[in-house]
Amino acid sequence: MTIRVIVADDQAPTREGLRLLLSSEPDIEMVATASDGHEVVAMARRHRPDVVLTDIRMPRMDGLAAIRDLVALDPAPAVVALTTFDLDEYLFGALQAGAVGFLLKESDPGLIIEAVRVAHEGQGLVDPQVTPRLLHRFAATSPRPPTSELATLTPREADVLRHLAAGSSNAEIAGELVISPGTVKIHIERILAKLGLRTRVQAAVYAHRHGLVTWTDLP
């Protein structure tokens, strides 16, 4: 199956670099590039991509506003936000707007390609350089008490959520809890449904904000 992708960035060299990187993959088709938020939303309406990679800081309409418009489309593409480390204050806003993950622009090319594939599968990927400690820092700015939805999780689901929020992959969670990766995936789907969330990244933020993960839990 071919993954249809749009890239948005106001810097032409970055757009071209991402276009060349992604179009070299046999399962990825670059359908368009955009230089600002208005353009990427218009392109997404026209081309109906599976995944959009968008910069956060762009002229006319910034990436956060674009993400909100993109996830409201029907069908909605999976959105991965791109940023630089010194603009990390925008990252939590990207998650709140509906991005399934975010990457640093200087991320390893292989990680960018993986993020596109993972997003297409309905999961999120956060650059390991900024997670989970960055998620914890953002979540700590607005901590919230446990919710009634949290009480509906089974003990096993709560364990899976804690491991997820600490930055573990499905395979790592499976190894720690001695269950299959397929079972982990089912648990995560149930967690998202019970908590009213869309992505594993939002679940990680939720866990940090509601005190399921502490500094001593982080790798």
Torsion region of 167: left, alpha or beta (phi above 0 gives left; psi -120 to 50 gives alpha): left
Residue 142 pLDDT greater than 70, yes or no? no
* 6, 18, 30, 210 from 107: Cα distances, Å: 18, 11, 19, 29
Sheet of strand 3-8: strand arrangement: 28-34, 3-8, 51-55, 78-83, 101-104
CB neighbours of 216 closer than 8 A, spacing ≥ 6? none
Q: Give the model's pLDDT for residue 88.
A: 55
End-to-end CA distance of the chain: 35
The pTM of this model reads 0.74
Reported for 105-110, long-range contacts at CB under 8 A and 24+ positions apart, including other chains, are 105/14, 105/55, 109/21
Considering the chain, what percentage of its residues have pLDDT values greater than 70? 86
Residue 86 pLDDT greater than 60, yes or no? no
pLDDT band at 209 (very low <50, low <70, confident <90, very high): confident
Grouping H, G, I as helix, E, B as strand and the rest as coil, residue 10 is coil
Please tell me the distance from the alpha carbon of residue 125 to that of residue 117, in angstroms, as a whole number: 10
Closest CA to 8 of 73, 75, 74, 77: 77
Closest CA to 116 of 15, 1, 5: 5
Q: Give the model's pLDDT for residue 28.
A: 97
Which domains are delineated in the chain? 3-130 (3.40.50.2300), 144-217 (1.10.10.10)
Contact 44/19 with Cβ under 8 angstroms? no
pLDDT band at 175 (very low <50, low <70, confident <90, very high): very high
Burial pattern 149-158, b for ≥16 Cβ within 10 A else e, equals ebeebeeebb
- Give per-residue pLDDT as tens, 18-69: 999 999 999 999 999 999 999 999 999 999 999 999 999 888 898 899 999 9
Name the DSSP class of 150. Answer: G
DSSP run (H or E) holding 82: strand 78-83
Considering the chain, what percentage of its residues have pLDDT values greater than 90? 48
Residue 195 pLDDT greater than 70, yes or no? yes
Cis amide bond preceding 132, omega within 30: yes
Q: Give the model's pLDDT for residue 127.
A: 72
Tell me how crowded residue 169 is: count the other CB atoms within 10 A of its CB.
Answer: 15
Residue 138 pLDDT greater than 90, yes or no? no
